[in-house]
Amino acid sequence: MSFLEYAPAPESQAILNLRSEYGLFIDGEFREGHGTPFASISPATEKHIATISTADAADVDAAVAAARRAYDRTWSRMSGADRGKYLFRIARLVQERSRELAVAESLDNGKPIKESRDVDVPLVAAWFFYYAGWADKLDHAGLGANPASLGVAAQVIPWNFPLLMLAWKIAPALAAGNTVVLKPAETTSLTALLFAEIVQQADLPPGVVNIITGAGATGVALVGHDDVNAVAFTGSTPVGRAIAKSVAGTNKKVTLELGGKAANIVFDDAPIDQAIEGIVNGIFFNQGHVCCAGSRLLVQESIHGEVVDRLKARLSTLRLGDPLDKNTDIGAINSSAQLDRIRALSDIGEAEGAERWTAECTIPENGFWFAPTIFTNVSTSHRIAQEEVFGPVLSVLTFRTPAEAIAKANNTPFGLSAGIWSDKGSRILAVADKLRAGVIWANTFNRFDPASPFGGYKESGYGREGGRHGIASYLTSGTPARPAVAAAVTKPKTVTKGATK
Ligand code: NAD
């Protein structure tokens, strides 16, 4: 196959005005943390970007206290219409600084600039616009006449969509009248700290939004803090499980958005051209660092050969390299730890008998990279069919009947998302009805909209983000729940998996 040559088209970094050191954002201002600072590096070059503060327990205390003061004195007393004005202001500032945010995100996370520019940052603005519109309509949210905010929300997010996950957390919490303390992931703190500058620019009352940085220990201190009323976590299932244990027996309202192992089901009557693009987008978007990634392709046996051949041809045209190059399709893996995990699980896939195919591409000398990879001959018992690889690795399985497709699709501990490709609307509806997944796409994949609730079944967590459901997670009917740890609560809370749907 011959390819068109593309001249590099790197996005300039001149728009960035980064500091060499970043402190914690508490009570409206930046201050140094008391923990050991750490470096944020570019995963594409391994070059140092900035030194970031670590929040220790005393810093977490200060951040929660600032959020509590802001809640009591200003934010919970403000009208919904006024809160909405602040959120609209944030949304507009995100749009104004969108190019800078996209460059910072690609630099720090390793994702291609065309994704941060065209997907992440526009969705961040959309999330704030959407929830700004809810702020003065809470009485009409279907939660009774006087739904009340919860108080202080502790929010912990992962590294795969740093700014977008921040928006998913902060926008509905503030719209509902809560104040927040948010901790970004340790490998991607940069855009959360730029967001803190936007909070200052928007003139939000001090303490309404606090951003504290650090690793797991900071997260533990935050979600375990006695004076937080809500815990919203997005990340891995093992950490989600630990958080569920730590909040059991408290009054904290919890949402857990965890891992996934989505089935992307392609029937033999599917529009194949679109399906190939959808499969590629489903698993190779954001290097496969996507909780709802279509990491298991279930293809009807009669078209298996054709689909796999066409996928290989398509993958051979993807360009891997500099995340800041506008031509780049596959950027860098976010960290060396994640690269090790992808490599280990891929080796296990081969050892268990699956057939490995990797697209030919030049791997840059520095940084963390993994070429797009497909495994065929995969069976449902293989670890690459059960565990989240969280990288650009697709496992291909086959099926003969819709019933077999459904049984295989549901055969994982997760239940976050799924895709169905077919010409027949009736088949799509019938299959979707039987899939245990919170989000199901039909003849498309990885589409996100702030009006649409998102969340999982089983080990993918509980609670929903987005839409009316997303704001309901930050509201209660009646008076705010204070104190968070009620002395009267003696029994551990029963956590029912998938109870939200
Ligand atoms: P992770 O669970 O390792 O870390 C997530 C965040 O939790 C980080 O900020 C981390 O510092 C913090 N943390 C770590 N240990 C903690 C603890 N004991 N208590 C409190 N906080 C702690 O996950 P990750 O590797 O950053 O992210 C990848 C995972 O996130 C994948 O499993 C992916 O599927 C999931 N994810 C889910 C969704 C969703 O909406 N369901 C969206 C994006 C990512």
pLDDT per position as a tens digit, 18-77:
999 999 999 999 999 999 999 999 999 999 999 999 999 999 999 999 999 999 999 999
Looking from the CA of residue 161, the nearest atom of ligand 1 is 43
By most ligand atoms within 8 Å of CB, the mutation choice from 119, 156, 245 for ligand 1 is: 156
14 occurs within a structural domain: no
Burial class (CB within 10 angstroms; exposed 0-12, middle 13-18, buried 19+) of 55: buried
pLDDT per position as a tens digit, 86-128:
999 999 999 999 999 999 999 999 999 999 999 999 999 999 9
492 occurs within a structural domain: no
418-446 mean pLDDT: 97
Report the C-alpha gap between 88 and 129 in whole angstroms: 6
pLDDT at residue 146 greater than cutoff 90? no
User: At 144, is the pLDDT very low, low, confident or very high (cuts 50, 70, 90)?
Assistant: confident
497 occurs within a structural domain: no
Report whether 159 contacts 194 (CB < 8 A). Answer: no
pLDDT per position as a tens digit, 433-491:
999 999 999 999 999 999 999 999 999 999 999 999 999 999 987 554 454 444 333 33
Same domain? 249 vs 267: no
Same domain? 327 vs 408: yes
230 occurs within a structural domain: yes
Report the C-alpha gap between 155 and 222 in whole angstroms: 8
Same domain? 233 vs 347: no
pLDDT number for residue 145 = 80
420 Cα: distance to centroid of ligand 1 (angstroms): 27
Q: Whose CA is nearest to atom 43 of ligand 1?
A: 291
Same domain? 86 vs 193: yes
- Here the CATH number for the domain that contains residue 426 is 3.40.309.10
Same domain? 291 vs 388: yes
Range of the structural domain that residue 388 is part of: 263-442
Indicate the DSSP class of residue 463.
S
Same domain? 294 vs 245: no
Question: 35: number of CA atoms within 13 Å, CB side?
Answer: 24
Pure H helices in 248-393: 272-284, 304-315, 336-351, 383-386
User: At 3, is the pLDDT very low, low, confident or very high (cuts 50, 70, 90)?
Assistant: low
| Tokens at 227, concatenated | 């004076």
pLDDT at residue 389 greater than cutoff 80? yes
With a pLDDT cut of 90, the percent of the chain lying above it is: 92
- Here the CATH number for the domain that contains residue 212 is 3.40.605.10
Report whether 205 contacts 101 (CB < 8 A). Answer: no
222-243 mean pLDDT: 97
Looking from the CA of residue 214, the nearest atom of ligand 1 is 11
Looking from the CA of residue 239, the nearest atom of ligand 1 is 2
440 Cα: distance to centroid of ligand 1 (angstroms): 22
296 Cα: distance to centroid of ligand 1 (angstroms): 21
416-420 mean pLDDT: 98
Same domain? 145 vs 168: yes
Looking at this protein, which amino acid is placed at residue 387?
A: E
Same domain? 306 vs 369: yes
- Residues touching ligand 1 (Cβ under 6 Å) are 156-160, 183, 185-186, 215-216, 219-220, 223, 234-236, 239, 242-243, 257-260, 291, 388, 390, 416, 456, 460-461
- Spatial CA neighbour of 380 closest among 346, 422, 413, 411: 411
With tokens 């570019």, the residue in question is 42
Same domain? 185 vs 295: no
157 Cα: distance to centroid of ligand 1 (angstroms): 6
431 occurs within a structural domain: yes
Q: Whose CA is nearest to atom 13 of ligand 1?
A: 216
Annotated catalytic residues are 257, 291
Report whether 399 contacts 310 (CB < 8 A). Answer: no
> For 33-54, b where at least 16 C-beta lie within 10 A, e where not — what string?
bebebbebbbbbbeeebbebbb
Same domain? 192 vs 267: no
Q: Cα–chain-centroid distance for residue 86?
A: 24
Report the C-alpha gap between 112 and 116 in whole angstroms: 7
Neighbour order of strands in the sheet with 263-266: 355-358, 373-376, 393-399, 296-300, 263-266, 417-421, 439-442
Same domain? 134 vs 65: yes
486 occurs within a structural domain: no
pLDDT number for residue 4 = 66
pTM of this prediction? Answer: 0.94
489 occurs within a structural domain: no
Report whether 95 contacts 202 (CB < 8 A). Answer: no
pLDDT at residue 2 greater than cutoff 60? no
Sign for the pseudo-dihedral over CA of 331, 304, 266, 256: negative
Same domain? 246 vs 304: no
pLDDT number for residue 484 = 47
3 occurs within a structural domain: no
| Tokens at 60, concatenated | 């977490």
With tokens 């079944």, the residue in question is 457
- Number of structural domains (the chain) is 2
pLDDT number for residue 493 = 35
